[in-house]
Structure 1
């Protein structure tokens, strides 16, 4: 029975899901840290940094994920050996950086300029004003649009199988090969697992958004 096969292979599917979640957390962390830095450089940096940020965004948003994965794994592999997992983190993490920097740039620019001027008027440096006044408000407002990035990157982790990352999709291919069929049911189970993780993640982020909503900025979910 097909359901017996699925139950027997559930440990492998959950193992692949765990790898996918690890990859998701790693690439979102890369995108979060570098995305904030890039957004600050574009908003407050000198012209060369702004140009660099714009060029970075356009390059990494304009190249398909699979091409980036192949480029970082096989391209970098010609000069320095790199394992599939860190190659996927770099490729997808830098792509996430480009998208997250847009999110953070938008919410930073949405903070009224008068607040920066008021902070400077009471003796704060620009760096202090950004750290203590601008970023706390901007990051709260970024939670809503960041849910879309979470969902997008969760789905992008499935592409890492092309360079050998043994995540959920590749585990599904292994099961199909070993059982010589059952494609529809196996991938239906995989789709359900992705859906559940995405739903739980979005629910958590919506709750976080409500908790840290800034009074006066309108209603949240």
Structure 2
């Protein structure tokens, strides 16, 4: 996962999104999938207007220029992305729009002072909590989701999937190698990842219908999981 900070096209305020990414040589690739929704995500519109962005990969942050890939280059790169993760192809099948592929190219100069991995993990967790709280509030007050929050809901589902996949494949094994005493708690965290994945799949199917109970269950399980993860792992990061 990375944190992409763009400048609002209309507001001029910073906007941070949690995205899955794909390293590609000296650049990083992101896809404006928005969970296969019919509209491009806000961050994509922002970088079209102002392509100077900030990328946070956890170990360091850096300024980058966002370059939207076009035509044959976009198609070739997207095909490679689908080979790496078939989910991108499923999102494309679910919408009539062409999912944009964006290359984040680091600007010259050293990375800006990086935050610790623990701080970045807390920032990501905070963003997930905030987005789910907004989604829950709209469902509770209106009984459904507006168009933009439907996009946000699908994006959060996708973001959680990539976040947990990255932890399971990278963070957890690395911590276990250095701290075998974490074996029991990481086993619990992995079990919670699997349970949350089931809830995310069910939630994605329900977007646009009666969501409140499903969102409440997801928030309860996710908050408990994030609290446990922070308490158990942050001292080691």
Q: TM-score, normalised by structure 1?
A: 0.27
Greater relative contact order (Cα < 8 A, sep 6+): 1
Specify which structure has the higher proportion of helix.
1
Specify which structure has the higher proportion of strand.
2
Computing the radius of gyration from Cα coordinates, the structure with the larger value is: 1
